[in-house]
Structure 1
Amino acid sequence: MLSTRQLNEIEQLQKEVEAYDVLELKLNWEMLRSRDSKQLDFFHYESNKLIAFIGLYSFGSTVEVTGMVKPTERRKGHFTKLFEEAMTSVQQIGYKKVLLNTPARAKAAQDFLKNQGALYKFSEHQMQWEPQPLTASTGFILRQAESTDLKMRIRLDVEAFDISLEDATAMESRLNGEQDTEMLMIDVNNETIGKIRIQRRDSQAWIYGFSILPEYQGRGIGRKVLQHTVKQQSEAGYSIHLDVETKNAHALRLYEAIGFVVKHAQDYYVYQK
């Protein structure tokens, strides 16, 4: 588990890097705050100051990797050293797939990943809702997820996001009891047909894992649930954010239709060694 000091150091370095490079890093803070005993975080210090950081984020057999270096300390080999340590840990833990994440506009980071032999896989938009009037939505029930919903949550990940059963099981099991997070199930006519997860931090509400069973898609249910959720979170004083793969054209159109706009983009590369 990371100490309060380490978390504060990561946060300060993130703010410095984002301000200097004018971008947004994806550090998966909900996972940083709930680390287990595995070696998933790598730090490099100079004169007791955090200079470089790499975090590993486990999703079953897949691991995502994100890192950063203090702007004034770049091109000195710090990140390369940390990356080698991180990849050694990846091999020891036994992950089957490694995804390296970088902001789309971070050319130096992209060049580094390509030099490591990583291949571009996909991109993800980070979207934010621009306030506009939303009508009240009906025809569904949102309820708190229960332990008996775990099987359905896993099924939704597999069918809606094409995630492997192994990874979906690991991910949904990890999400149980996560702080500042609300896991909701979507019921229609007494049948559970979807889920949506809301994580609140500071003044932001992030929507994750929003999914509807394929046989219930195309009926307008997803749009109604999304409008209801956005309206509720906005009225509670939160700005609303979400991530979506750029190749998911249907989801992009849905989000844009109710007022979401793209703010940042993240690129993912597959690494094999």
Structure 2
Amino acid sequence: MSQSQIPPGLEHFSRLNASIWYHQPAARTPSKDPDFVLLLGWMDAKPRHIAKYTSGYEKLYPSASILAITTSSYDAALSSNAANIKRISPALDILYTLPPNAKLLLHFFSNGGGFTTVHIAKCYMKKMGKALPMTATVFDSVPGYARLQAQVRAFMVTLPKNMILRAIAALMLYIAYPIFKLRYLLTGTVDVVEDMRLATNDKSLFDLDAPRLYIYSEADDIVEPKDVEEHADEAKTLGYTVSREKFLTSGHAAHMIQDPERYWGIVRRLWSMVS
């Protein structure tokens, strides 16, 4: 990506690979703010989308380092486990070297961001022998279930508006879905969305002491609000400190766009619980 193609808001970030952007502030002053923000976008979110959130965090916590990661539909649906680990390896190298007392705010979006978050958490556990050391976690529009219609809508978001291409893509998804389901049934495994749901409530991967905030919407047509609420209920039963913010009319992963003041206010409120 040339300098002219870098989205506004990311010019001062280092691009570590095709998926990862990293910002370290010029000066860091001691404070109760996060030292580090780990931000993982929804599936097929572009850097220009992520920049809206990195800019928000820079205003909110100017002394925090920010690591932003994108996930494509190819990463989530077709890439091997080894390929995904290679994709996130620059981020892992940074996370492995965080100081023991670093204050980490984890923020991920949708099932695509959750997919990559779980890869990071599992790699961190394997390497470091402990849960990813998050201080607080934001679940934005996540987790859902891998329902057919929701999956089709998720994959169709970034397709061209050409009706013929969209019809062909939808047909391919309808054919592929039962094939994937049959493979999971025959191998005794679960789909990547179910794996993400289970892993994000696994106390060996996600620190029980880190309070979590679920942000979701009644109007989300990709991740149903009842799916988010079910996961939040399970987390609370397990002992996690859970808060929820339910929007009524915002679309999938679009709550900040609809009401930025409310959105960043609830993020600040979450962090105030640990600062």
With normalisation by structure 2, the TM-score equals 0.28
Greater relative contact order (Cα < 8 A, sep 6+): 1
The structure carrying a bigger strand percent of its residues is: 1
Greater Cα radius of gyration, structure 1 or 2: 1
The structure carrying a bigger helix percent of its residues is: 2
